[in-house]
Amino acid sequence: MRIRNAIAAVGIGSALAIGGLAAPAQAASARVYQGDDYAEWDNDTSVYGEYVTVCDRERDGNGVYVKVWLDDGYEEFGDANGSASPCSNRSYGFGSVGSIQVCEDEIGPDWCSERRYV
């Protein structure tokens, strides 16, 4: 009787493990900071692609922009309304964003975060 229960327990555990492997893919994201300013990449499988957001969170008069390296090039865009809400974002096709970096527009060299590969 104990052997039969042990076999049943193993079978149930195996079924749960296999079921866990079949779970739908989860959303992924990556965020980089320059002070309180940030840029974020999001790949949510429930939507139609990838999104990059840039957010100016400092009321210091300096603009904030994100550098986006794509499979077919490179682009930058800024938080269009400065430190006011909401943040700015753009959408891209699945798998097209390679990395992001957020920068604060300064007199002289801009201050930038590390480049984050996604």
Average pLDDT over residues 22-51: 80
At 59-116, the pLDDT tens digits run 999 999 999 999 999 999 999 999 999 999 999 988 899 999 999 999 999 999 999 9
pLDDT of residue 13: 42
In a domain, 12, yes or no: no
Looking at this protein, which amino acid is placed at residue 91? S
Domain count, the chain: 1
- Spatial neighbors of 50 by CB under 8 A, at least 6 apart, are 41, 42, 43, 91, 92, 93, 94, 95, 96, 97
Q: Indicate the pLDDT class of residue 45, thresholds 50, 70 and 90.
A: low
- Say if 35 falls within a structural domain: yes
Range(s) of the domain holding residue 76? 25-117
Task: Report yes or no on 80 lying in a domain.
Answer: yes
User: At residue 17, what is the residue type?
Assistant: A
The CATH number that applies at residue 108 is 2.60.40
